[in-house]
Amino acid sequence: MLEAENTLQTFRLELPPEKIANQACIAVKIFDHPLKFLTYQGTVNEGTAAVEIADKGTYQTLTKTKNQWQILFDGQILKGNFTLILIEGDNWQLSLS
């Protein structure tokens, strides 16, 4: 979840953050969430799934277009320049720049 414009832009990652520095991963854009969910951990979808906080920190947008978002992460795990590139539909590729 990335806080932007009073909402949380939310992506479901196929890999945990500690593995993303070594290889690109798919990040599926899901619906934006209210800010109150920034610290939520627990069950979702009527108990059929669970969410957990995998990393905390800050980020800075370096550049952003319709199809690409360059981000500088300063998290506990993710640190450095990363790029989200739109592949198709809601599927993005997240990789270390």
The mean pLDDT of the chain is 93
Instruction: Give the pLDDT of residue 50.
Output: 86
For 41-46, what is the mean pLDDT? 90
Give the three-class secondary structure for 20: helix
**CB atoms < 10 A from the CB of 78, how many?**
21
Contacts of 42 (CB under 8 A, 6+ apart): 50, 51
Overall domain count for the chain: 1
The single-letter DSSP state of residue 77 is S
Question: How far is residue 19's CA from residue 24's CA, in Å, rounded to a whole number?
Answer: 9
pLDDT tier for residue 20 given thresholds of 50, 70 and 90: confident
Structural domain span for residue 63: 2-96
For 13-29, what is the mean pLDDT? 90
